[in-house]
A and B are shown apart, each in its own frame.
Chain A
Amino acid sequence: MRAKLIGIGSNRLLARVSDTSSPVARAMSLARFDEAGLLIGLIVLVLIIGIPHPEFFEFGSIKTLLRQCALVGIMAFGMVYLVSMTDIDLSVGGIYAVAVTASALMIKSGIDPWIAVLLSLFIGAALGAFNSIVTAALDVPLIIVSLGTLSVFFGLNLIISDASPIFGMPRDHLFFRIFGGEFLGLPASAWVMFAVGVALHFLFFHTRFGATVRAIGANRAAADFIGVKVDRVRLYATALTGMLCALSAAMTLAYFKAVDPSMGEQKELLVIAAVVIGGTSLAGGSGTILGAFLGVLIINVIDSGIVFFGVDPNYARFVTGCVILAAIALDRFVKRRRQLSDELQSHL
């Protein structure tokens, strides 16, 4: 069980762990798992903030942190699939914006919130699929297509919302009470993020779809050669990501019970940053949901730190960037050391 937990995301590691029998070897392999560097970085960050500001560890601030994480995290889990197959969807923020506005408008026009949210999930999936259809039709990279659709979707959002905020949700409806509230002490959106994370982790590592995504990322030409339909797999992956954007949007709506037309702007950069910090290589083939989750945590912990330390807002963005770079550097440092020791061992 323990070996399985450690082995998340690394077949190489699974083999290594199953080869080791002594408890010492097991303990050593624990320190060697793929996300070790990230976890260390996160712990360091938490301590840096938490020691001078113990209120950081209070339940209230942890809840706020998790709520913020859920919004980016749900989208980032989808993005792991895309980045793993060397594709990047820049339009996730736009899809999020359209979904949140569309569901709010539908609810306001009297449609039952459950149905409105369900429809918005389809809208999200359709917009994601649209990206892939254009990508396949024009035979250009997804990143280029989504650079265009990013503006198309945000523009669409301004048109349908008339660029003005939307209020007046039926706050007492069960949907708002469940997903805007808490469950077992934690925000409902955090539970949704955990559930989605576990499901997508399973999909990524234990199903044909996930294995195909990883195979395409590892060697697209070789995957195509054995008859994998690369365009179709990308269609599913972008539709999945689009649907997750809409799910994140639904969680936002449930909590705030209002929509601002600027919602979702620059979310794509946060999502991509979280995925990349999480160790998903832009060169494809490697990526884990757990890594993306840690990436999201790191970004949001940094954000909280800036608040706790009362950093001048003019410096906040600069500091955020520097800490992100430091986290990535630490992660690569740990990975490189492990690679070196692997190579050393294989020579012995």
Chain B
Amino acid sequence: MTQTVYSVRGVTKRFGRQVALDNVNIDIQEGSVLGLVGSNGAGKSTLMRCLAGALKPDQGELVLAGRQLHMNSMHEAWQAGIAFVSQELNLFPALSIAENLCLVPGRRGWRSAARMADEAGPVLERLGFRANLAAPLGSLSLADRQLVEIARALLQNPRVFILDEPTSALHASEVDRLHNILRELKWSGTAIVYISHFIEELLGVSDTVAVLRDGRRVTLPERPGPPPLPDVVTAMLGDKPTNLSPTKGGARETISTENPLRLTNLRGPIALSVDRMEARRGEVVGVAGLAGAGVEELFAVLFGRLPVVRGEISLPSGGRHKANSASAVANGIAYVPADRKRLGLALDQSIADNVSSVRGLGLGRDGFVISGRRQAERARQRCAATGVKMASVGQAVGSLSGGNQQKVVFAKWIEADPTLLLLDDPMRGVDIGAKSELYALIRQLAAEKRVVVIYSSDPADYIAVADRVLVFNGGKVADELSGNQLTEHRIVTSMNGSSGVSACV
């Protein structure tokens, strides 16, 4: 019988009025892997940050080896023997690999890089990582950097090892290697918490599975052996009515067969391989897939940020597709990016400046001399149409809430009157009220004879807006769901579909 080394007892965490974690109990066993599952916003990352000392729970306690912890920082967690490898790499690209391995939160003093290299050698070799440790970290691929971060954590001989989405950047063979290491680590007594969107992969390595939904722990049906995938998906999503599509009524008659977006025998530079895909005007087509399944690459290729290796793209505007974003914009393609702060908006500039940027600067449709008054007037109308709540269009965009910022992004693209909209996780960081307004806006944009292609990290969004969903896997369209088949359950199961899920990146 294994022993509980780290336990979470009745932990509750609120952010303002929102309850992120509601009386969560979890026991983490010595020498065992706990898989933690939940959809976006279920409270996974909040729980993890509590476990790793980055957040303080409002109620409840964390007990490590019988001793109650009162951690104020991640440093203290590292000192207590809790290692945390997060999605966002905490590494220094300019320093050498060996130096990065020395820099551990909470450790004082300095070990020489040469000594560190001696120690790190065997661990890195076990991870199947071969590189000159004196080389700068920045020269490594994202996958290799992730391995360095994992190696750095392992070098501390942690009692509890928390991994958040450790495989999203790894190749299938590297995932296998990582899993083998986790098994070895487990046999030597370490307690491991493993969080991943790749549910099938997670089930393969976990001894027990904990499911979070809306901040609460959900119990899985009792069964001998590890839980099967459908049970986990059901627990994650809950028993929601399956045909919930409030805004989609009456969309059919607006679908036009003229000038659709059509991909034929398309090959991207990495893994993308689409033999045939069509999206018609008036239609909202969802493209679902796990990280590395090819959706990001599809968007990048369509918007001209990655080259087409082979095949053909015919655009709704009828223009010739070229591999640069300037001609993509000129060809009537709009792209609402996932990284809103970096690519979507100039936060310090005014709402008016942002709304008129694509039209006035990208396309030059406002001529050389720009009338600030006319621009402000247009922005005011556009923002009223998209429902931006603001004091004035002269306000800096950065002062708006996430949902309103996203509406400004929509407004600026609508100003360019696009024929094809690529929506890359448009509901990220958007509150529920703004979400339903954005759903309606997306439906309306489609109804105005535009092609809308949407990716979302929350499958519920597809149910709300998409007419049909193409599920990507390994760079290919693996499944198409529409009508009654279009349920969150089907989408998630299908995304996790084939074995060897983590396709090459």
Bound CA–CA A209/B370 (angstroms): 10
**B349:A215 contact, CB within 8 angstroms:** yes
Closest approach, in angstroms, between the C-beta of A6 and any C-beta of chain B? 13
Closest approach, in angstroms, between the C-beta of A185 and any C-beta of chain B? 33
Residues from chain B with Cβ under 8 Å of A226 in the complex: 325, 329, 357-358, 361-362, 412
- Determine whether A14 belongs to the interface, using a CB cutoff of 8 Å to chain B: yes
Residues from chain B with Cβ under 8 Å of A285 in the complex: 346, 348-349
Most buried by B among A205, A209, A211, A221: A211
Identify which of residues 205-251 in chain A touch chain B, using a CB-to-CB cut-off of 8 Å: 205-209, 211-212, 214-215, 218-219, 221-229
Q: Mark B358-382, 1 if CB is under 8 A from A, else 0.
A: 1011111011111110001000000
- Determine whether A152 belongs to the interface, using a CB cutoff of 8 Å to chain B: no
Residues from chain A with Cβ under 8 Å of B372 in the complex: 11, 14, 205-206
Bound CA–CA A215/B399 (angstroms): 18
**B346:A211 contact, CB within 8 angstroms:** no
Residues from chain A with Cβ under 8 Å of B485 in the complex: none
**B362:A222 contact, CB within 8 angstroms:** no
**A207:B346 contact, CB within 8 angstroms:** no
Bound CA–CA A11/B392 (angstroms): 11
Residues from chain B with Cβ under 8 Å of A16 in the complex: 394
- Determine whether A19 belongs to the interface, using a CB cutoff of 8 Å to chain B: yes
**B326:A208 contact, CB within 8 angstroms:** no
Closest approach, in angstroms, between the C-beta of A91 and any C-beta of chain B? 28
- Determine whether A2 belongs to the interface, using a CB cutoff of 8 Å to chain B: no
Residues from chain B with Cβ under 8 Å of A22 in the complex: none
Closest approach, in angstroms, between the C-beta of A323 and any C-beta of chain B? 30
Bound CA–CA A209/B325 (angstroms): 19
**B350:A12 contact, CB within 8 angstroms:** yes
**B349:A214 contact, CB within 8 angstroms:** yes
Q: How many A-B residue pairs have CB under 8 A?
A: 104
Interface residue total, chain A, C-beta cutoff 8 A: 31
**A11:B370 contact, CB within 8 angstroms:** no
- Determine whether B347 belongs to the interface, using a CB cutoff of 8 Å to chain A: yes
Given contacts A223-B361, A227-B329, contact A15 B342 (CB under 8 A): no
**B369:A207 contact, CB within 8 angstroms:** yes
- Determine whether A346 belongs to the interface, using a CB cutoff of 8 Å to chain B: yes
Bound CA–CA A188/B115 (angstroms): 70
Residues from chain B with Cβ under 8 Å of A224 in the complex: 325
- Determine whether B457 belongs to the interface, using a CB cutoff of 8 Å to chain A: no
Given contacts A208-B367, A211-B360, A215-B353, contact A221 B342 (CB under 8 A): yes
- Determine whether B343 belongs to the interface, using a CB cutoff of 8 Å to chain A: yes
Bound CA–CA A89/B364 (angstroms): 27
Bound CA–CA A212/B350 (angstroms): 14
Give the residue name and chain of the B residue nearest to A224 (CB).
B325
Given contacts A206-B370, A207-B370, contact A228 B361 (CB under 8 A): yes
Given contacts A12-B394, A215-B353, A218-B349, contact A208 B343 (CB under 8 A): no
Residues from chain A with Cβ under 8 Å of B343 in the complex: 221-222, 225
In-complex Cβ contact of A208 among B328, B346, B361 (8 A): B361
In-complex Cβ contact of A15 among B325, B326, B347, B394 (8 A): B394
Give the residue name and chain of the B residue nearest to A283 (CB).
B348
Identify which of residues 323-356 in chain B touch chain A, using a CB-to-CB cut-off of 8 Å: 324-330, 335, 337, 342-350, 352-353
- Determine whether B395 belongs to the interface, using a CB cutoff of 8 Å to chain A: yes
Give the residue name and chain of the B residue nearest to A205 (CB).
B372
- Determine whether B441 belongs to the interface, using a CB cutoff of 8 Å to chain A: no
Most buried by A among B344, B361, B367, B368: B361
Give the residue name and chain of the B residue nearest to A218 (CB).
B346
Most buried by A among B328, B335, B350: B350
**A215:B368 contact, CB within 8 angstroms:** no
Identify which of residues 105-125 in chain B touch chain A, using a CB-to-CB cut-off of 8 Å: none
In-complex Cβ contact of A227 among B328, B337, B368, B369 (8 A): B328
Identify which of residues 1-52 in chain A touch chain B, using a CB-to-CB cut-off of 8 Å: 11-16, 18-19
Given contacts A14-B372, A15-B393, A19-B392, contact A211 B335 (CB under 8 A): no
- Determine whether B396 belongs to the interface, using a CB cutoff of 8 Å to chain A: yes
Identify which of residues 246-285 in chain B touch chain A, using a CB-to-CB cut-off of 8 Å: none
Residues from chain A with Cβ under 8 Å of B394 in the complex: 11-16, 18
**B347:A219 contact, CB within 8 angstroms:** yes
In-complex Cβ contact of B344 among A206, A208, A222, A286 (8 A): A222
- 21 residue pairs bridging A and B, Cβ less than 8 Å apart: A11-B350, A11-B372, A12-B350, A15-B395, A208-B364, A215-B361, A218-B346, A218-B347, A218-B349, A219-B346, A222-B343, A222-B345, A223-B357, A224-B325, A225-B335, A227-B325, A227-B327, A227-B362, A228-B361, A285-B346, A346-B399
Apart from A208-B367, A219-B342, A226-B358, what 19 extra A-B contacts exist at CB < 8 Å? A11-B350, A14-B394, A15-B376, A15-B392, A206-B369, A208-B361, A211-B357, A212-B361, A214-B353, A215-B349, A218-B348, A219-B347, A221-B343, A223-B357, A226-B325, A226-B329, A226-B412, A227-B362, A286-B348
